[in-house]
């Protein structure tokens, strides 16, 4: 049998162990909470910026802050202008790295996320990424978009054939209808190859519930079914 002194030391050790685990748990929650808050703020401003561009107005931080307290956004007096940060609309050819391309929406799954150029870790921590060298929305070919399975593309696990995927840009809105889903190895880059018809490819890691770096890729292929040109607001006398 253990002596009372030994049992006392064991209880003290276990109690201290509980405190350490609690502190570690709170720190982990704080880190995750900070990351989600940072992502939410980033997505909020980028959505505001895109919406302002679609209206032919400039996007400012003050305007974004005012949008939270203004009951009617039509009261804004910002003069019509396309935000200078939208490099993809100002520069012909390939977009500038990390530039804002638009917003992806999957209505049935309640997905709405900003799309930026690039698939580096920093870009994908805040937004959905457009795979460089693939087609741009509205142009012929294969538009490839990637995101993490545990953030913006978490709901994609429930996607179904014939689901509508919408890509909103300053140039127009493009609707795609899902045709197929499949699982491939990362080495299978054929999914990014150009297509003869306008199409969209979503890429995320698989399995969705895998702990650590998932070994495979979940691929969604959709074809473009409609296009709607962007309508810019023009003020009288502008």
Per-residue model confidence as pLDDT tens digits over 41-69: 555 555 555 555 545 555 555 554 455 44
CATH of the domain spanning 87-229: 2.40.260.10
CA distances from 161 to 51, 149, 157, 174, 223 (A): 29, 19, 12, 18, 11
CA distance 118 to 92: 17
**Model confidence, pTM:** 0.63
Residues forming a β-bridge with 200 = 143, 222
Q: Which H helix or E strand runs over 168?
A: strand 164-168
Per-residue model confidence as pLDDT tens digits over 88-143: 333 345 565 568 899 999 999 999 999 999 999 888 888 999 999 899 998 999 99
Residues forming the active site? 148, 205
If you search the block for the tokens 């499949």, which residue do you land on?
182
| Domain boundaries of the chain, sorted by first residue | 1-85, 87-229
Half-sphere exposure in the Cβ direction for 192 (13 Å, CA): 16
- Return phi, psi of residue 143, to 5°: -85, 115
Per-residue model confidence as pLDDT tens digits over 182-220: 999 999 999 999 999 999 999 999 999 998 889 999 999
Of 138, 131, 230, 144, residue with least CA distance to 175: 138
């Amino acid at each position: 049998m253990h002596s009372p002194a030994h049992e006392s030391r064991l209880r003290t050790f276990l109690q201290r162990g509980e405190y350490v685990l609690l502190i570690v748990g709170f720190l982990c929650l704080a880190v995750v909470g900070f990351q989600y808050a940072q992502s939410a703020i980033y997505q909020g401003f980028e959505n505001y910026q895109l919406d302002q561009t679609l209206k032919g107005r400039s996007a400012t931080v003050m305007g974004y802050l005012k949008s939270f307290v203004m009951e009617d956004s039509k009261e804004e007096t910002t003069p019509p202008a396309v935000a200078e940060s939208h490099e993809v609309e100002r520069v012909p050819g390939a977009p500038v790295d990390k530039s804002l391309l638009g917003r992806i929406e999957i209505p049935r799954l309640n997905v709405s996320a900003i799309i930026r150029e690039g698939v580096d870790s920093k870009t994908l921590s805040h937004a959905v990424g457009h795979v460089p060298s693939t087609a741009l929305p509205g142009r012929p070919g294969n538009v490839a978009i990637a995101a993490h399975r545990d953030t913006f593309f978490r709901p994609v696990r429930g996607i179904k054939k014939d689901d509508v995927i919408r890509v909103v840009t300053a140039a127009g809105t493009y609707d795609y209808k899902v045709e197929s889903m499949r699982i491939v190895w990362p080495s299978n880059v054929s999914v990014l190859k150009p297509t003869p018809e306008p199409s969209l490819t979503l890429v995320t890691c698989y399995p969705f519930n895998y702990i650590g770096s998932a070994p495979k890729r979940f691929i969604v292929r959709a074809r473009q079914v409609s296009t709607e040109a962007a309508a810019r607001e023009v003020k009288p006398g502008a």
